Amino acid sequence: MVRTLHLRPHAWKLKEPFAIARGVRTEARVVVVELHQDGEVGRGESSGVAYHGETPESMIAQIEKLRSHLENGADRESLLHLLPAGGARHAVDAALWDLEARLSGVPVWKRAGVENWRPVESAVTVGIRTLPEYEATARLYADHPWIKVKVGADAPLDAVAAVRRGAPTTRLIVDANQSWSVEDLFRFAPGLQELRVDLLEQPVAAGRDQGLSDYTGSVPICADEALSTLDDLPRLIGRYQFVNIKLDKAGGLTAGLALAQAASAAGFRLMVGCMLGGTISVAPGLVLAQQCEICDLDGPWLQAEDWPRGIVYRKGRMSLPAPVIWG
């Protein structure tokens, strides 16, 4: 066996500036991993977790330290001990899954134990904007099954109401990205129910969420920033009803599948999400989505460019990428 590792940073242009409570981005910066072996190439991609301080450069530096291990045949199980959870491990793990699939001729989803593939429908994300723009944008996606609405602490119910006017029947996720206080949550909860919101994602800061145990609203709350790995699950019990598993944080599909199993056993309902990035960064999440009630894997859809023959979105329904790309 002769295996070689290739690494490079890449930047994908977004369709429009992506505004959330933490700031605005105009591009998705990622690391691309390629593992060449026996005439095949396994690929992985990750943008990492910016609020954990990850960048393409830092992830490349992490992976370079493992070059000899990876080129000498390190597998996914050993990778769990060689790299910490995060974007670097997600990218390498994805490349290893892809390489295994190519060398074996068995698609990743079958290797992951999925018996029958079911279609995946992703939410489409509407970033922070003016109220007329919220409504106009929602009208464009009124025939989609899910819209995810990014809000801050400033009049979030007005934003959600504008989206609801534009999309009267679409199911809604509201994501405050930690911008509210617990008191804000209790104040906004009746309005969220009235606007028929289906899920509220990380309303308060992950380290200040003790008060969520007193929440009795009808809209379930989902942990996002509060969850990265298995170690986080115990403190979420009683505070959140859903967990959003993001492979950039969990450190890849291998770890993500284990996290999903443990979260289900602990009584959590499952959502799969993603960071910004192209098809290859999101494709492993499609496999995890087979176990999840809610899917938010629209990273490539938010971009003005993507991998050739990548994931196609048709009214939120996601295709698998072409096998030549990943899986």
- Domain boundary at 86, 111, 136, which? 111
Domain of 73: which CATH number? Answer: 3.30.390.10
**In which domain, by residue range, is 80 found?**
3-111
Beta strand 120-121 with 40-46 is: unpaired
Whether residues 163 and 281 fall in one domain: yes
Listed in sequence order, the DSSP H helices in 105-155 are 108-111, 131-140
| Distance (Å) of CA 292 to CA 58, 188, 222, 297 | 31, 27, 13, 12
Nearest-angstrom CA–CA distance, 209 and 207: 6
pLDDT in tens, the chain (327 residues): 789 999 999 999 998 777 575 676 778 999 999 999 999 999 999 999 988 999 999 999 999 999 999 999 999 999 999 999 999 999 999 999 999 999 999 999 999 999 899 999 999 999 999 999 999 999 999 999 999 999 999 999 999 999 999 999 999 999 999 999 999 999 999 999 999 999 999 999 998 999 999 999 999 999 999 999 999 999 999 999 999 999 999 999 999 999 999 999 999 999 999 999 999 999 999 999 999 999 999 999 999 999 999 999 999 999 999 999 999
Say whether 315 is catalytic: no
The answer to whether residue 158 is domain-embedded is yes
Whether residues 161 and 303 fall in one domain: yes
pTM: 0.95
The answer to whether residue 277 is domain-embedded is yes
Say whether 249 is catalytic: no
Does the annotation list 201 as a binding residue?
Answer: yes
* Exposed / middle / buried, residue 183 (Cβ in 10 Å: 0-12, 13-18, 19+): exposed
Query: Within a 10 A sphere around the Cβ of 191, how many other Cβ atoms?
Result: 15
Does the annotation list 198 as a binding residue?
Answer: no
| Distance (Å) of CA 54 to CA 85, 96, 110, 167 | 11, 21, 31, 36
- Domain boundary at 45, 77, 111, which? 111
Whether residues 254 and 167 fall in one domain: yes
- Domain boundary at 60, 77, 111, which? 111
Whether residues 153 and 296 fall in one domain: yes
Whether residues 124 and 80 fall in one domain: no
Among 13, 110, 150, 249, the one annotated catalytic: 150
- Which phi and psi (to 5°) does residue 44 adopt? -140, 160
- pLDDT for res 88: 98
Whether residues 96 and 203 fall in one domain: no
Among 15, 110, 148, 246, the one annotated catalytic: 246
- Which phi and psi (to 5°) does residue 308 adopt? -65, 140
- pLDDT for res 2: 87
**Beta-bridge mates of residue 147:** 124, 172
Whether residues 64 and 205 fall in one domain: no
Beta strand 317-318 with 313-314 is: antiparallel
Domain of 152: which CATH number? Answer: 3.20.20.120
| Distance (Å) of CA 99 to CA 78, 108, 278 | 16, 9, 18
Whether residues 29 and 154 fall in one domain: no
- pLDDT for res 20: 72
Whether residues 17 and 141 fall in one domain: no
The answer to whether residue 325 is domain-embedded is no
Whether residues 105 and 150 fall in one domain: no
Number of domains into which the chain is organized: 2
Whether 307 contacts 98, CB under 8 Å: no
- pLDDT for res 16: 75
Whether residues 168 and 201 fall in one domain: yes
Does the annotation list 231 as a binding residue?
Answer: no
Whether residues 100 and 161 fall in one domain: no
